[in-house]
Amino acid sequence: MIDVLVIGNGMVGYKFCEKLVNKAPEGFKITVFGEEPSPAYDRVHLSEYFAHKSVEPLLMAPRQWYEENAIELITSEMVVSINREAKSITTHKGRTFNYDKLVLATGSTPFVPPIEGSNKSGVFVYRTVEDLDAMETYSKNAKTSAVLGGGLLGLEAAKAAVDMGLEAHVIEFAPRLMPRQLDEAGSDMLQATLESMGLHIHLSKSTASIDGDEAMTSMTFTDGAALEAEMLIISCGIRPRDELANESGLEKGERGGIKIDELTLTSDCDIYAIGEVASYKGMTYGLVAPGYDMATVAVEHLTGADTKGFTGADMSTKLKLIGVDVASFGDALDEGKQYKSIVFEDKNAGIYKRVNISKDGKKLMGGILVGDASNYNMLFQMMLNDMTLPPHPEDLVMDTSRQGAAAGNTVDMLPEGAQICSCENVTKGALVQAIEGDGVEQFAALKTCTKAGTGCGACSPMVNDILTATLKKMGKKVRKVLCEHFAYTRQELFDLVKLNNIHSFDQLINDYGKGHGCETCKPAVASILASAWNGLILKQDTIQDTNDRFLANIQKGGTYSVIPRIAGGEITPEKLIVIGEVAKKYDLYAKITGGQRIDLLGARIDQLPEIWEELINAGFESGHAYGKALRTVKSCVGSSWCRYGLHDSVSFAIRIEERYKGLRAPHKIKSAVSGCRRECAEALSKDFGIIATEKGWNLYVGGNGGANPQHAVLLAGDIDEETCIAYIDRFLMFYIKTAEPLNRTATWMNKLEGGLDYLKQVVVEDSLGMGKQLEAEMQLLVEAYACEWKEVVNNPALRARFKHFVNSPEADPSLKFDKQRAQKVPVGW
Ligand SMILES: Cc1cc2nc3c(=O)[nH]c(=O)nc-3n(C[C@H](O)[C@H](O)[C@H](O)COP(=O)(O)OP(=O)(O)OC[C@H]3O[C@@H](n4cnc5c(N)ncnc54)[C@H](O)[C@@H]3O)c2cc1C
Ligand code: SF4
């Protein structure tokens, strides 16, 4: 029996044990030392601890697993020295243990720069569950916080601070955010998005001191500026925990860490080092996947198996924050200027994408994605597998819904050997084998049996795509389940909600799901519940979207915009005057929108209920400009005023807008009515558009404007108003019930099997025999409508939520404005 001692029970130390017991269940006696009180947990998803308030859901395995595998787990005990001659280690309790082989998996510790005052209370790091506990307790008596470091972890910590109800400032020494991953334009875009989420970003700032008596109250910068902050989270990088190497004489890397070779052996051939503590060719790795690779190599070497060795790792990353997509891969910055770049930027939608391609235009070398990283996995795989680029590489950065087969980038094109999950080293071939050979048909089962997607989770969408594509090839019906917490499609969940009269996320996950939910299922279920019952969105605890949370669109600079409904674009002079008066009183920037409404921008959170109250008293309602809901029904002046008008398009538009106002859907819905085929209301660019004809109305569906224009197509021609309404009822209900989350009607129709013909059969010919039922369901939603603003205005408990600080009624003091053309605009924009 070989005695193996593992020092460090973090993610990598645990993975080593798991791989060793799987490969050689007998022959090794394993003892693991962990300094933390709990067994190894998933540090990558540490921020989820705030949601669970328990370490259990994050555990890599429960204590029982160690017992079942005859592993002795010793927690809350730190190893303080190694005696290489005696082949023993000693713990801080003075206990000594002998080894035949020793594995160092001691990870790293956050780097705290030597800034005056960093020992004051209120200063934290973000690494362990104990750090998070301490931070949360302290935050209860604080309003303001700062995070030192605008890198990957710093931004995650800042988001956690915002979620704790604190004002959060990010201080970054470099002139851009995530300086190792993003270029200037990508950082600018990320900054704009983060600021719209309520974070305050300060770049090119060097901290001179952390000030206050015993507890910190502010910070001073080297340029003389100061910032009030009662809490600080330091996230300035990590330092390997290589202290055991010092006195035992193990060789270290040039920049710290314990030096290892390709077999993960240190300068002592009985001692391995793996994970963040290991230094290979002078590099230490702050990601989990390289650590898992090292664990595999160490186990292979220890058990005498063939090994390809550890030869370095890719540092591509994808940020997991809710609300911001950021990814960077390969040679993202191209500082050597060796490549050609293709850049797509949409400031309106907050999207920046850059791919660097070889000079001959054939290979992908790296890239940056901000605002939309949905094709990260595919791009990353193209680069890793040295795949030839499609004829129009610009398609790689254009809107993802138009990609896929057209751009030549589907999972089918990946070679069998493509490594899909780098954390667990799972190839496409292994996934296909599990599906075809072992009959796995569910996403969750595929994850369990191959372990793909169980590390950092970034590959999960691609694992799901491979499952779908393989099942399709096998001629099996593909069910696109929502996520690992719900083994149901969105459509099935919608039906379950209706049939079982379910009104909350907790009830649905208790009855039909498992775990605690994630950033995929929480907003999707919130959308289903809203569409099913048309209840007040604020009563759903799980809503993720800041816009829904405050019934207004958050804008650059941290203020909100107010858009009252102006049905059909028709408004009386009296109402116009009220809008003008409100704008003047609250100093709001006024702008006419493309949807024939008036947007009032620059309102503080605490002003929103007052502004709404004044508008409601004048007969206005919420315009739902913030929700995945019906927005506007635009109209031309029609036959009332226009010489060409065939019918009264304004009255019809108002009728439609009144009917569907507030209707929640998988995505926003826009509509328009034109009085003749000259189409002044641009109905063909809407989700559903109506154009007057000599004999009645033509109804078009599936149009889209914005970055991805698509013309609507004719669903029914020359119909009367009543039939038109009935068809719209059916069309919208069918879409709401069957579309995947966040699919506009155009995308949904593009994916619909049978396309327009099938849709016509369902809506016009009533082939499923559910036309009347769909109309009745719509009628129930129409009757359930209530103005959400009014509910807040009249409900003191809801109204009390509208304040900037959780524990104080004070207004946000950091909002600053400039003047432009006689109106205010946020500073710096
Ligand atoms: C908030 C956060 C988010 C992250 N997000 C990502 C991500 O999205 N993607 C990604 O790839 N990586 C991410 N990481 C990094 C990832 O968590 C680490 O790369 C990984 O945990 C490293 O594992 P490790 O086992 O080497 O080190 P650790 O997890 O640090 O484990 C080492 C363990 O050893 C213990 N130890 C140290 N010295 C001793 C001793 N002398 N005696 C006994 N015990 C000792 C430590 O207390 C610790 O428990 C994130 C990290 C954090 C903190
Ligand atoms: S669409 Fe026709 S009816 Fe309407 S304003 Fe234009 S020309 Fe006139």
**DSSP track, 138-159:** HHTT-SEEEEE--SHHHHHHHH
Q: Is the CB of 108 under 6 A from ligand 1?
A: yes
- Is 254 exposed, middle or buried, given 0-12, 13-18 or 19+ CB atoms closer than 10 A? exposed
DSSP character string of 345-385: EETTTTEEEEEEE-TTS--EEEEEEES--TTHHHHHHHHHT
Q: Is the CB of 147 under 6 A from ligand 1?
A: no
pLDDT at 807: 54
Cα 348 to ligand 2 centre (Å): 29
pLDDT at 177 > cutoff 60: yes
Q: Cα(95)–Cα(81) distance, rounded to whole angstroms? A: 11
Ligand 1, atom 5: nearest CA belongs to which residue?
A: 44
pLDDT at 819 > cutoff 90: no
pLDDT at 404: 39
pLDDT at 805 > cutoff 70: no
pLDDT at 172 > cutoff 60: yes
pLDDT at 252: 96
- Which stretches does DSSP call E strand in 281-437? 317-318, 326-330, 340-346, 351-357, 364-370, 419-421, 426-427
Q: Cα(44)–Cα(48) distance, rounded to whole angstroms? A: 9
pLDDT at 320: 63
The one-letter amino acid at 112: V
What is residue 520's DSSP assignment?
T
H or E element that contains 201: strand 199-202
What stretches of 619-718 show up as alpha helix (H) in DSSP?
A: 649-660
Per the document, the length of the chain is: 829
pLDDT at 539: 66
Q: Is the CB of 123 under 6 A from ligand 1?
A: no
634, 679, 698: which to mutate for ligand 2, most atoms within 8 A of CB? 679
pLDDT at 45: 87
What is the overall mean pLDDT for the chain? 89
User: Can you tell me the mean pLDDT for 648-669?
Assistant: 95
Q: Cα(49)–Cα(161) distance, rounded to whole angstroms? A: 13
Q: Which of 132-141, 199-208, 532-541, 801-810 has the lowest mean pLDDT?
A: 801-810
Query: Which tokens in the block code for residue 729?
Result: 């009822």
Q: Is the CB of 241 under 6 A from ligand 1?
A: yes
Which of 446 and 423 is assigned the larger pLDDT? 446
Name which of 593, 611, 591 is nearest 601 in CA terms: 591
> Quick check: 160 and 220 in contact, CB under 8 A?
no
pLDDT at 541: 57
Strands 258-260 and 278-280: parallel
Q: Is the CB of 39 under 6 A from ligand 1?
A: no
Ligand 1, atom 30: nearest CA belongs to which residue?
A: 107
Cα 647 to ligand 2 centre (Å): 9
How would residue 828 be classed by pLDDT, with cut points 50, 70 and 90?
low
Ligand closest to Cα of 80 equals 1
Ligand 1, atom 31: nearest CA belongs to which residue?
A: 10
User: What atom of ligand 1 comes closest to residue 14's alpha carbon?
Assistant: 25
Name which of 319, 139, 148 is nearest 230 in CA terms: 139
Q: Cα(800)–Cα(91) distance, rounded to whole angstroms? A: 53
> Quick check: 28 and 20 in contact, CB under 8 A?
yes
Q: Tokens 């004044």 correspond to what residue?
A: 614
DSSP character string of 762-821: HHTS-TTS-HHHHHHHHHHHHHH---HHHHHHT-HHHHTT--SBTTB----TT--EEEET
Cα 638 to ligand 2 centre (Å): 5
Cβ count near 678 (within 10 Å): 12
Q: Is the CB of 275 under 6 A from ligand 1?
A: yes
- Residue 206, helix vs strand vs coil: coil
How would residue 378 be classed by pLDDT, with cut points 50, 70 and 90?
confident
Predicted confidence (pLDDT) per residue in 416-441, tens digit: 888 888 788 899 999 999 999 988 88
Percentage of the chain lying above the pLDDT 70 cut: 94
pLDDT at 804 > cutoff 80: no
| Phi-psi label, residue 42: left if phi above 0, alpha if psi -120 to 50, beta otherwise | beta
Ligand closest to Cα of 679 equals 2
pLDDT at 555 > cutoff 90: no
pLDDT at 83: 97
pLDDT at 521 > cutoff 80: yes
pLDDT at 402: 40
Percentage of the chain lying above the pLDDT 90 cut: 59
Q: Is the CB of 657 under 6 A from ligand 1?
A: no
Q: Is the CB of 212 under 6 A from ligand 1?
A: no
Q: Which of 58-72, 611-625, 809-823 has the lowest mean pLDDT?
A: 809-823
Q: Cα(68)–Cα(64) distance, rounded to whole angstroms? A: 6
> Quick check: 409 and 396 in contact, CB under 8 A?
yes
User: What atom of ligand 1 comes closest to residue 36's alpha carbon?
Assistant: 47
Q: Cα(663)–Cα(785) distance, rounded to whole angstroms? A: 8
pLDDT at 347: 78
Cα 810 to ligand 2 centre (Å): 50
Sheet holding 144-148, edge to edge: 123-125, 231-234, 144-148, 167-171, 199-202
Which of 809 and 113 is assigned the larger pLDDT? 113
162-183: b (≥16 Cβ within 10 Å) or e: bebbbbbbbbbbeebbbbebbb
Predicted confidence (pLDDT) per residue in 312-345, tens digit: 887 777 776 656 788 999 998 888 788 899 998 8
55 CB-near residues (< 8 Å, 6+ apart): 38, 41, 49, 129
pLDDT at 634 > cutoff 60: yes
- Residue 191, helix vs strand vs coil: helix
Q: Cα(418)–Cα(720) distance, rounded to whole angstroms? A: 56
pLDDT at 147 > cutoff 90: yes
Q: Which of 22-26, 49-53, 546-550 has the lowest mean pLDDT?
A: 546-550
Residues with CB under 6 A from ligand 2: 636-638, 642, 644-645, 649, 674-676, 678-680
Which of 389 and 613 is assigned the larger pLDDT? 613
Predicted confidence (pLDDT) per residue in 218-251, tens digit: 999 999 999 999 999 999 999 999 999 998 999 9
Q: Cα(574)–Cα(371) distance, rounded to whole angstroms? A: 41
CA triplet 56, 162, 117: central angle to 5 degrees? 95
Helix, strand, coil shares of the chain, percent, nearest 5, are 35, 20, 40
User: Can you tell me the mean pLDDT for 608-637?
Assistant: 94
pLDDT at 811 > cutoff 70: no
90, 276, 423, 454: which to mutate for ligand 1, most atoms within 8 A of CB? 276
Output phi, psi for 813, to 5 deg.
Answer: -80, -10
CA triplet 810, 816, 820: central angle to 5 degrees? 140
pLDDT at 548 > cutoff 80: no
723 CB-near residues (< 8 Å, 6+ apart): 716
pLDDT at 165 > cutoff 90: no
pLDDT at 40 > cutoff 60: yes
Q: Is the CB of 238 under 6 A from ligand 1?
A: no
Q: Is the CB of 460 under 6 A from ligand 1?
A: no
pLDDT at 806: 54
User: Can you tell me the mean pLDDT for 461-466?
Assistant: 83
How would residue 131 be classed by pLDDT, with cut points 50, 70 and 90?
very high
pLDDT at 403 > cutoff 60: no
Output phi, psi for 11, to 5 deg.
Answer: -60, -40
> Quick check: 738 and 730 in contact, CB under 8 A?
no
Q: Is the CB of 276 under 6 A from ligand 1?
A: yes
Ligand closest to Cα of 646 equals 2
Q: Tokens 């790689």 correspond to what residue?
A: 396
Q: Is the CB of 82 under 6 A from ligand 1?
A: no
